[in-house]
Structure 1
Amino acid sequence: MARMIFLNLPVRDLAAATAFYVALGGEVNPQFSDEQTTSIMLSDAIVVMLLTHERYGQFTQRLIGDARQWSQALIALNVDTRDAVDATLARTTQAGGKADPNPAQDHGFMVSRSVEDPDGNVWEIVWMDPAAMGAQG
């Protein structure tokens, strides 16, 4: 079995978070979703588990942080084209995200913009041109 990443995120509003992550390009996996959890497949190897605060609290004794106030992680997701960066931002902001909480970056061989989900988690949407990146070194 290939290695996978499961990113478990506490969410205040499961429906709003689900809409955002579907707009990010994910697909709901009903097999692992219920009234307190939505399993979002971003790829065959990346799964975002959206958990209500009540459900998330069943896995930890720690307080649930507020991603709107504190940075806890930097999460980046690649896309296939430069234009897909802006298209992804357009879809996710229409689904309740906040565009560009961090400055956009354009290094020629790499472009990134960020979007904040309804709970404050920030995702960088990144496109890289491997051929041009190799020429930079």
Structure 2
Amino acid sequence: MTITFINLPVRDLLSAAEFYRALGFTTGHTEPDGDSMVLTVSDNTRLLLHVRSAFEAYTGVPTSDPATSREVIVGLSAESRERVDELVDRAVVAGGESLGVGSTNGPMYMRGFRDLDGHQWSFLHLAG
């Protein structure tokens, strides 16, 4: 089985973890140094949150500012259009920023948001 690991720098580890728990991600464990935390998104996906200084030490370069630049957009699938809307609505209630109404492109329905640190995410459903 292949597991995907999404690593993100955050300003406040506990607030970021609380935000993602509101989306249904489950807390795995905090690293012994207290600067990183692992959350389970699904059986095959983990989200690793790192305080910015730990992320920079790990990567060896400064982090970019998500308010002025975009390095990646994280997209996750959902089982229905309704679930896409539910997840984005939950993100907004938890303090995230909606990127507007959902959009349809052929069989794909997608809706996006930015998390507490400005990282851009989208949930999408592929009808099929």
TM-score under structure 1 length normalisation: 0.84
Question: By how many angstroms is 1:31 displaced?
Answer: 6.3
CA-to-partner distance for each residue in 1:41-93, whole Å, 9 max, x for gaps? 10111111000012212212211111121110121101111111111011111
Counterpart in the other structure of 1:124: 122
Q: How many pairs were matched up?
A: 128
Letter in 1 for 2:108: M
Give the superposed CA RMSD: 1.8
CA-to-partner distance for each residue in 1:80-108, whole Å, 9 max, x for gaps? 1111111101111111110116x631135
Name the one with the larger strand percent.
Answer: 2
Counterpart in the other structure of 1:133: none
Structure 1 runs (4+) greater than 4 angstroms displaced: 31-34
Counterpart in the other structure of 2:103: 105
Q: Is the 8 A contact 1:23 1:88 kept in 2?
A: no
Counterpart in the other structure of 1:114: 112
Question: By how many angstroms is 1:29 displaced?
Answer: 0.3
| Identity, % of aligned positions | 27
Give the secondary-structure state (helix, strand or coil) at the position aligned to 2:53: helix
Q: Is the 8 A contact 1:6 1:49 kept in 2?
A: yes
Q: Is the 8 A contact 1:41 1:47 kept in 2?
A: yes
